[in-house]
Amino acid sequence: MTVKIPHVTLNNGVRMPLLGFGVYQIPEEQTQQAVEDALEAGYRLIDTAAAYENERAVGRAIAAAGIPRDELFITTKLWIQDYGRDSAERAFDRSLDRLGLDHLDLYLLHQPYGDYYGAWRALEDLNRDGRARAIGVSNFYPDRLADLITHNEVVPAANQIETHVLFQRTADQDLMRRHGVQHESWGPLAQGGQDFFDNPVLVDIARAHDRSVAQIALRWLVQREIVVIPKSVRPARMAENLDLFDFRLTDDEMARIAELDTGRSPVFDHHDPDNVTWLGGVRFDT
């Protein structure tokens, strides 16, 4: 069965699937199989990053699948150590080389630290010459996003931020809507923490629709027009996470889920100075 995945249109006219497959924390040796399984299941958006150290395996899976390039939507991200205008462009070339591609569909600044202004200017150049069809950011809280938009030419096409039923980001989404920045969720299942799959409200709504808790949590995001990129290495879960487009949550169910917002991340505090210092020193083999 081929699942029809809806698309959103980014602020530069590029169309992006509303649902994709993320490969964070999938070890390099498992990534090729996982991505091949995901493409077989019907995913066309693959989300990786130089920092995940599995771009080569993603590239091998893309080559093995033989799907026409224009049917795929490939995202990768630039890590902080490679920020700055010149080093960003070189790091982009290395990512493309590892992925075996000649262009990207979406290239993101992974974090809002270090010389992200210099890096953004490099991304603007890559966007202008067509090697990155769209460019965006990740983990940008509203203040930094507004600042970046104010002082640069190209408005980010997307901002990929932690978003799930426990951390809903409604004010972030309002700001992004005002500026035409597509909201993309990472950790849509809260990475499976916080007893996520036993949440009584989600369990109750899942029963009412004869669906899984994962499907309710993901449906809630896509119904808010937020792009989701859940991760699983299990083909049965990949298929389950795709199967969101033949049911709707009612207004009452959306309102019950809205009550679950804690307003803070259970995963990572981007405002904690110790975290900022730590992240700024993390090096990857990019």
**229 forms part of the interface with ligand NAD (CB under 6 A):** yes
Give 179 or 237: the residue with its C-beta nearer to ligand NAD.
Answer: 237
| Calpha distance 53→59 (Å, rounded) | 12
Name the active-site residue from 52, 83, 107, 116: 52
Q: Could you say which residues in the range 78-107 bind ligand NAD, by CB under 6 A?
A: none
**C-beta of residue 11 within 8 angstroms of C-beta of residue 155:** yes
Report, in Å, the least distance between residue 153 CB and ligand NAD: 23
**237 forms part of the interface with ligand NAD (CB under 6 A):** yes
Backbone φ, ψ for residue 257 (5° rounding): -70, -35
Binding mask 150-169 for ligand NAD (x = CB under 6 A): ----------x---------
Q: Which residue number has the CB closest to ligand NAD?
A: 22
Report, in Å, the least distance between residue 24 CB and ligand NAD: 3
- Would residue 107 show up in a list of annotated catalytic residues for this protein? no
| Calpha distance 132→124 (Å, rounded) | 9
Binding mask 100-139 for ligand NAD (x = CB under 6 A): ----------x---------------------------xx
Report, in Å, the least distance between residue 249 CB and ligand NAD: 17
Stretch that binds ligand NAD, among 60-68, 122-130, 173-181, 229-237 (CB under 6 A): 229-237
Could you count the other beta carbons within 10 Å of the beta carbon of residue 64? 13
Report, in Å, the least distance between residue 185 CB and ligand NAD: 8
Report, in Å, the least distance between residue 23 CB and ligand NAD: 5
Binding mask 46-75 for ligand NAD (x = CB under 6 A): -x----------------------------
**C-beta of residue 158 within 8 angstroms of C-beta of residue 106:** yes
**24 forms part of the interface with ligand NAD (CB under 6 A):** yes
Stretch that binds ligand NAD, among 19-27, 62-70, 83-91, 173-181 (CB under 6 A): 19-27
Report, in Å, the least distance between residue 123 CB and ligand NAD: 15
Amino acid at 262: T
Q: Could you say which residues in the range 184-213 bind ligand NAD, by CB under 6 A?
A: 186-192, 197, 212
Nearest to 47 by CA among 26, 33, 68: 26
Q: Which stretches of the chain bind ligand NAD, using CB under 6 A?
A: 22-24, 47, 110, 138-139, 160, 186-192, 197, 212, 214, 229-232, 237, 240-241
> Could you give the residue numbers annotated as active site?
52
